Amino acid sequence: MKQDGSGSIKATLNLSKSKTKVASLMKLKNVNGIQIPSQATVTKEMERAVRTLKATPGISNVQYTLDFNNYIATLSCNFKSVEALNEFSNMLSKQFKTNVTSYNSYAFQPSVPAFSRHYKYMPDVGKEFAKISADDQKLFGDAYYTNIIRFEKHIKTQTNASAKISSNGKAVLLKVPAIALFRGSTSLANTITLTK
């Protein structure tokens, strides 16, 4: 994130640790009532997301990769402001019929300067996770959500107890177990205050 509130974002879904299992699942139409998308469907949905983002005001340089050998997907873009970053989330929520923006949003106060991520746990996530069989829940045992936010200025403070400031003082790392997110036992909320 730059001093003026613009920046870039890159999301990565990395299933390479389970690539043999994912490759087997991709050969099936559904598992335990859950429909498994084909490579063609995944590609089509990613391309649709890219078109949506390219049409979003304040979003530019939208790019993606899909690696079906290692099962790694990336989606990246630049944003003109934190408002455009929130619109990015809003547009993807509408497209994929999810509710990302009701529990996750960003704010930037250049006068402080401070960057905030607002996060509210949605109990529906936990209810959906509870519906999965115990064996399938175990598959998420090694899954993590990792978030790295980099800044041009040094960080004075950050408020998330699970996050750490990098050794160079210009980035915050948050790594939490996916199961903790599903169950609501951890939070992604953070307020990061920067030096003036």
Are 5 and 70 members of one domain?
yes
Domain CATH for 14:
3.30.70
Look at residues 29, 64, 98 and tell me which one is the last residue of a structural domain.
Answer: 98
The span from the CA of 195 to the CA of 79, in Å, is 22
The span from the CA of 13 to the CA of 17, in Å, is 11
- Say what the pLDDT of residue 194 is: 97
- Say what the pLDDT of residue 102 is: 55
Look at residues 47, 67, 98 and tell me which one is the last residue of a structural domain.
Answer: 98
Domain limits for position 50: 1-98
Residues whose CB falls within 8 Å of the CB of residue 29, separated by 6 or more in sequence, listed in order: 35, 36
- Say what the pLDDT of residue 9 is: 93
* pTM of the complete model beyond 0.95: no
Domain count for the chain, please give it. Answer: 2
Are 80 and 131 members of one domain?
no
Residues whose CB falls within 8 Å of the CB of residue 64, separated by 6 or more in sequence, listed in order: 46, 49, 50, 73, 74, 75, 76
Are 41 and 57 members of one domain?
yes
In this structure, the strands spanning 155-158 and 104-109 are unpaired
Are 83 and 108 members of one domain?
no
The span from the CA of 127 to the CA of 152, in Å, is 40
Specify the DSSP element, H or E, that contains 53: helix 39-54
Are 1 and 94 members of one domain?
yes
Look at residues 98, 127, 155 and tell me which one is the last residue of a structural domain.
Answer: 98
What is the residue-level pLDDT of the chain in tens, covering all 196 positions?
Answer: 999 999 999 999 999 988 998 888 888 888 777 788 899 999 999 999 899 899 989 999 999 999 999 999 999 999 999 999 898 888 777 776 665 545 789 999 999 999 999 998 888 888 888 888 888 888 888 899 999 999 999 999 999 999 999 999 999 999 999 999 889 999 999 999 999 9
| Cα of 135 vs its chain's centroid, Å | 25
Are 190 and 161 members of one domain?
yes
Task: For 98-125, give the DSSP string.
Answer: --HHHHEEEEEETTTTEEEEEE---HHH
- Say what the pLDDT of residue 98 is: 66
Are 76 and 115 members of one domain?
no
Helices and strands (H, E) in the chain, number of each type: 7, 12
The span from the CA of 151 to the CA of 59, in Å, is 19
Are 104 and 94 members of one domain?
no
